[in-house]
Amino acid sequence: MFGDAAEHERGLLSRCIEVLESSLSSNDERTYDTLLPLYGRLDVLRGQEEVKRKANEQPASQHDCVTHEHVRAAGPTGVDYDRLVRDFGSNLLDPSDLARIEAESGEPLHLFLRRGLYFSHRDLGSLLDAHARGESFYIFTGRGPSASMHLGHLVPFQFAAYLQRAFAAPVVIQISDDEKFFFKGLSLADAAAYAADNIIDIIACGFDPQRTFIFSDTQAIASLYPMVMQIQRKLTCGQLSKAFGVKVCSACAPEGDEATDCVGKLMYPAVQMAPAFASGLPPELFGAGGGAGQKGRKLATKAPRCLVPMGIDQDPYFRVVRDAAKGLGQPKPAVIHNKFLPALAGLHTKMSASAGEAIRLTDTPKQVRKKMRSAFSGARGDGSLSDHRRLGADLETDVAIKYLQYFLPDDAELAATEAAYAAGTLTSGEVKDKAAAAVSDVLARHQQARALVTAGDVALFTTVRPLI
């Protein structure tokens, strides 16, 4: 009964808001006075629905689930990253690691590092030691072309472009069209079309045209294949089925589920692992001996080591290939992990093109503002302004605050916003509008950069050539 009444009220409220939004201009004073209490009430109703939905969920979802295919956190504060680091056996990035990155690169730390959004690593210390000795490294990351890109996808590419600038390092970007063919059931033609579109967005993230190589698996497979085979001979079906949740026999499948997975799901992982070794890539990229020069240092003679920046859901690939590295006579790739940009609906999952609403890279400021207003709010109390002033907000569950942490450049402004919101001085609507403005700035810059990418740029970035 209660559910129906709440749903009815939510419907009415949404319609009122829509009508008001379309009749008031955004810089009209009355916008805040009229709309904010309504947004607040809508948040409360949504929060109640969320609590009810959670109560009805199966107990199996009491733990976070983070795999290369799905991310789902058990609680409203999102994934427990400390626990994930323990479970995965990686290391938390600590202040001394950050100081080393800053000292070794000679550049100020990226805000994703300052704010703990990149938070975990493997072997970063030894990679930086090698860099200090004049040895070079390259950066490897990638994208599965299953849709057009959204705000969450900018994070790893912006970060890879920063690492490239900071260390003058070559970057290799894999477009895994084969992965989306096997795992998402896309046609090869659709994967190719998304790949072409995604490559333009990736170039727009600011990579150095002289030092960046972008390739799709179906096109580059001939040069990857010898290393793919070397890796595949070291891995067993059991190991891959465990690391990637691939069902290899119906007897091991959950009860009632007779279907096993297609063999491509067992074959693909080595394709994502091979580029983590310099000798798995076309030999032209790193020249004789694989020595790409680093800023202000003599040319290295050894094959460069690899650093993989990625969302922590991609860790299984690199955990497995690091174990195989010694047997293959290859250096272990170092990795650095980022936290997920939360979905608008809340921190229980990441922003995704397939589930819920995402902020697209093509969105206008108006669309961003509207989407941001629907974001899950950590404001406490019954949604009234008086309650908010008295009780403040829970920053740990608030989506707009998380987006500000990723996209508001000014540290002092972020700290002041967080303090005022937690104390109830700033309202949820005001914080959402601030987040919308910060995101729109990022998108405006991205859209301008994307408009400048030419077919010639794409041809250059995708050509096999020395990355000096």
**How many other C-beta atoms can be found within 10 angstroms of the C-beta atom of residue 302?**
13
**Helix (H) / strand (E) containing 216:** strand 212-216
Q: How far is the CB of 273 from ligand TRP (least distance, A)?
A: 9
Q: Side-chain half-sphere of 86: how many Cα atoms within 13 Å?
A: 5
* CA 282 from centroid of its chain's CA atoms: 27
Q: Side-chain half-sphere of 391: how many Cα atoms within 13 Å?
A: 14
* Pairing label, strands 212-216, 171-175: parallel
Which is nearer to ligand TRP, 67 or 463 (by Cβ)?
A: 67
Question: Residue 393 — φ and ψ, nearest 5°?
Answer: -130, 155
Query: Which one of 47, 76, 78, 144 is in contact with ligand TRP (CB under 6 A)?
Result: 144
Which is nearer to ligand TRP, 15 or 70 (by Cβ)?
A: 70
Is residue 296 exposed (0-12), middle (13-18) or buried (19+ Cβ within 10 Å)?
Answer: exposed
Q: How far is the CB of 144 from ligand TRP (least distance, A)?
A: 3
With binding defined as CB under 6 A, does residue 174 bind ligand TRP? yes
User: How many chain residues bind ligand TRP (CB under 6 A)?
Assistant: 12
With binding defined as CB under 6 A, does residue 141 bind ligand TRP? yes
Query: Which one of 142, 170, 333, 346 is in contact with ligand TRP (CB under 6 A)?
Result: 142
With binding defined as CB under 6 A, does residue 272 bind ligand TRP? yes
Q: How far is the CB of 176 from ligand TRP (least distance, A)?
A: 4
* Pairing label, strands 137-143, 171-175: parallel
Sketch the per residue contact string, 312 through 331, with ligand TRP: x for CB under 6 A, - otherwise.
Answer: --x-----------------
With binding defined as CB under 6 A, does residue 198 bind ligand TRP? no
Question: Residue 119 — φ and ψ, nearest 5°?
Answer: -135, -10
Q: How far is the CB of 398 from ligand TRP (least distance, A)?
A: 27
Which is nearer to ligand TRP, 71 or 93 (by Cβ)?
A: 71
**Helix (H) / strand (E) containing 140:** strand 137-143
Is residue 452 exposed (0-12), middle (13-18) or buried (19+ Cβ within 10 Å)?
Answer: exposed
Is the Cβ–Cβ distance between 365 and 436 less than 8 Å? yes
How big is the CA angle at 383 (ends 380 and 387), to the nearest 5 degrees? 60
With binding defined as CB under 6 A, does residue 179 bind ligand TRP? yes
Which is nearer to ligand TRP, 39 or 194 (by Cβ)?
A: 194
With binding defined as CB under 6 A, does residue 280 bind ligand TRP? no
Stretch that binds ligand TRP, among 138-146, 258-266, 336-344, 367-375 (CB under 6 A): 138-146
Closest CA to 375 of 446, 441, 433: 433
Which is nearer to ligand TRP, 240 or 426 (by Cβ)?
A: 240
Which is nearer to ligand TRP, 312 or 426 (by Cβ)?
A: 312
Query: Which one of 176, 198, 330, 428 is in contact with ligand TRP (CB under 6 A)?
Result: 176
Which is nearer to ligand TRP, 174 or 212 (by Cβ)?
A: 174
With binding defined as CB under 6 A, does residue 308 bind ligand TRP? yes
Stretch that binds ligand TRP, among 58-66, 84-92, 139-147, 411-419 (CB under 6 A): 139-147
**Helix (H) / strand (E) containing 35:** helix 29-56
- Considering only residues 375 to 414 of the shown chain, the ones binding ligand TRP according to CB under 6 A are none
Stretch that binds ligand TRP, among 161-169, 174-182, 338-346, 419-427 (CB under 6 A): 174-182
Q: How far is the CB of 223 from ligand TRP (least distance, A)?
A: 15
Structure tokens at 410: 């000014």
Which is nearer to ligand TRP, 223 or 377 (by Cβ)?
A: 223
Q: Side-chain half-sphere of 8: how many Cα atoms within 13 Å?
A: 5
With binding defined as CB under 6 A, does residue 136 bind ligand TRP? no
Residues 6+ apart with CB under 8 A from 275: 140, 142, 172, 174, 224, 281, 306
Query: Which one of 46, 143, 211, 380 is in contact with ligand TRP (CB under 6 A)?
Result: 143
Closest CA to 361 of 435, 438, 442: 442
Stretch that binds ligand TRP, among 74-82, 135-143, 348-356, 443-451 (CB under 6 A): 135-143
**Residue numbers at the binding site for ligand TRP (CB under 6 A):** 140-144, 174, 176, 179, 272, 308, 310, 314
